[in-house]
Amino acid sequence: MPKWMGSASVMSAAVTGIDVRPVSVEVSLIYGTPMMQIVGLAQSAVREGRERIRAAAAQLGLHVPGLRITVNLAPADLPKTGAALDLPIMLGILCAKGDLPQDALDGTLAVGELGLDGSLRSIRGALPIALFAAAHPQVARLLLPTANLREASAAEGIAVGGSESLTHILAALKGKVQLRAPMALVSPAGGTTDGRGPDDDGFDLSAVKGQPAAKRALEIAAAGGHNLLLSGCPGSGKTSLARCLPGLLPVLDVREAVDVTVIHSVAGLMADGSGLKRARPFRAPHHSVSEAGLIGGGSRPRPGEASLAHHGVLFLDELPEFGRRTLEALRQPIEEGQVRIVRAAGSACFPAEFTLVAAMNPCPCGFLGVPGRCRCPEETVLRYRRRVSGPLIDRIDMLVDVPAVRWEQLADAAPGETSAVVRARVSSARAGAARRHGTTNARIPPARLEEACRIDRGGRSLLRKAVTHLGLTARGYHRALRVARTIADLEGRGPVSDDHVAEAIRFRSPH
């Protein structure tokens, strides 16, 4: 009969979607045939941790000859993925063997991937794990790789310590050395925590020649979070305009920065040693992107481009070239600001409050209406435009023509308004909307829309004509109301007048 040697339990966590679930790593050692077995719905990356743990133990002289090791990851019905459980499994083995006192891990939640040389490598989901640990009453300390320290330190109410090697962690748990402490985050007033500013991508509105109507639409979109479709011939500046939009948006506040960083951390897009993201996301997927790549998915759901653009901009260039099914999948996140994914292996809900900016040519060749340039048959043009469905177009607040830039505009050396100047107006308008209803105008709850967008008699008459004669749908009516509210906010005016409504209606039906 095999003889029992010892057991131990270590707290850890697993990321599912962007949610975090507690995992208890239970280790049992008995004398017998040397082997290690990991149970509890461990996926391949977790099971492969046996080899990493063996190699790291041999490298550090922590041999366990003649022992049968059983590791149970509880709860057993929760799928565990990734390599973040390497560290707690190793610590559990050492505790069960007696090389490490169990009370050294009391109140400690541990995560980390082991290298073959005993080093600790960064993991995905460090910030959501830290937020979970801060909210868990039994956790007093979070132990993780040094590369994740700055990211995890954004969670308040939890002591965070890290190390770059297993040797250092063991010495710290025995009280011989101190764990690495996170570097202080830079305050919003002192700059961004990842070293970037909103205009660091080099795109400034002053560099775009001409296009006053498109620039006006861009400012309105930034102020209210409204979706925008730019249509024009190649070279008219559609992409440059879209690239300028993040520079018109205010820097992320702390709550938004945490939301964005959580999603990028789960997706594995955080660089080692980085902290909170302050720059607004700008995602521009290629038109060959799959449905799962755009809105998220997979057997174990991961966030897609729509969620990675949360609190930022999702730019879809050459809109009709995207797959029809892929585009239709955007309907839910545009309306609800989130993506719900259900799979046999589990479900997940990802936030997706983005500003959609789409661009397209007026016809397949791109030069419709230019004398001598376009020879596209009318049926070909109609077929091209029908690639984007009416229900999706109806969810876009502003439709803007972007004509070719004239020579006089190209040769004009006078500088236009900079992104910083426009951003000041945008920030003021957004602040007013936040005081009024706590969100952007594009996200006003339907129950509060009429109250927030009270219009005078002339504006109501214009909307009635738009619904009656221009075929404005109920959704289009509500979106026009929201745009009119934003135009009034940019002017610093409380009531919405007929001028604001007229401009909003023009953007619903470009000529």
Per-residue exposure over 210-235, b if at least 16 CB sit within 10 Å of its own CB, e if not:
bbeebbbbbbbbbbbbbbbbbbbbee
> What is the chain's Cα-based Rg?
28
Distance of CA 397 to the CA centre of its chain: 22
pLDDT digits (tens, 9 = 90+) for 242-256: 999 999 999 999 999
What is each CA distance from 442 to 307, 430, 452, 463, 506, in whole angstroms? 17, 11, 12, 18, 18
The predicted pLDDT at position 196 comes to: 41
Torsional class of 482: left (φ above 0), alpha (ψ -120 to 50), beta (otherwise): alpha
The predicted pLDDT at position 201 comes to: 64
Contacts of 28 (CB under 8 A, 6+ apart): 4, 6, 7, 69, 70, 72, 96
The predicted pLDDT at position 60 comes to: 82
Residue that wins the pLDDT comparison between 48 and 456: 48
Q: Map residue 6 onto helix, strand or coil.
A: strand
394 sits in which H/E element? helix 390-394
Mean pLDDT of 290-311: 92
Whether the pLDDT of residue 434 is over 80: the answer is: yes
Find out whether 101 and 10 touch, Cβ atoms under 8 Å.
no
The predicted pLDDT at position 195 comes to: 39
Whether the pLDDT of residue 265 is over 80: the answer is: yes
pLDDT confidence tier of residue 64, bands split at 50, 70 and 90: low
Q: Residue 260 and residue 308: Cα distance in Å, rounded?
A: 7
**Which stretches of 255-367 are assigned E, i.e. beta strand?**
282-283, 313-316, 338-343, 346-351, 355-360
Q: Provide the angle, in degrees to the nearest 10, between the axes of the packed helices 474-490 and 212-224.
A: 100
* Count of CA atoms in the C-beta half-sphere (13 A) of 64: 30
The predicted pLDDT at position 262 comes to: 96
pLDDT confidence tier of residue 22, bands split at 50, 70 and 90: very high
Residue that wins the pLDDT comparison between 228 and 299: 228
Low-confidence winner among 104-113, 170-179, 413-422 (lowest mean pLDDT): 413-422
Mean pLDDT of 269-278: 90
Q: Residue 502 and residue 508: Cα distance in Å, rounded?
A: 10
Q: Compute the 3-state secondary structure of the chain and give helix, strand, coil in percent, each to the nearest 5.
A: 40, 20, 40
Mean pLDDT of 111-128: 95
The predicted pLDDT at position 2 comes to: 56
The predicted pLDDT at position 358 comes to: 97
Whether the pLDDT of residue 198 is over 50: the answer is: no
Q: Residue 456 and residue 109: Cα distance in Å, rounded?
A: 59
Low-confidence winner among 91-95, 194-198, 244-248, 412-416 (lowest mean pLDDT): 194-198
Mean pLDDT of 168-176: 92
Query: Which string of DSSP letters, residue by residue, matches 73-97?
Result: EESTTS-B-SSTTHHHHHHHHHHHH
Peptide bond into 145 cis (omega under 30): no
pLDDT confidence tier of residue 402, bands split at 50, 70 and 90: very high
Q: Residue 302 and residue 19: Cα distance in Å, rounded?
A: 11
The predicted pLDDT at position 193 comes to: 43
What rounded mean pLDDT belongs to the chain? 89
Whether the pLDDT of residue 65 is over 70: the answer is: no
pLDDT digits (tens, 9 = 90+) for 305-315: 999 999 999 99
The predicted pLDDT at position 186 comes to: 44
Mean pLDDT of 354-360: 96
The predicted pLDDT at position 190 comes to: 39
The predicted pLDDT at position 451 comes to: 85
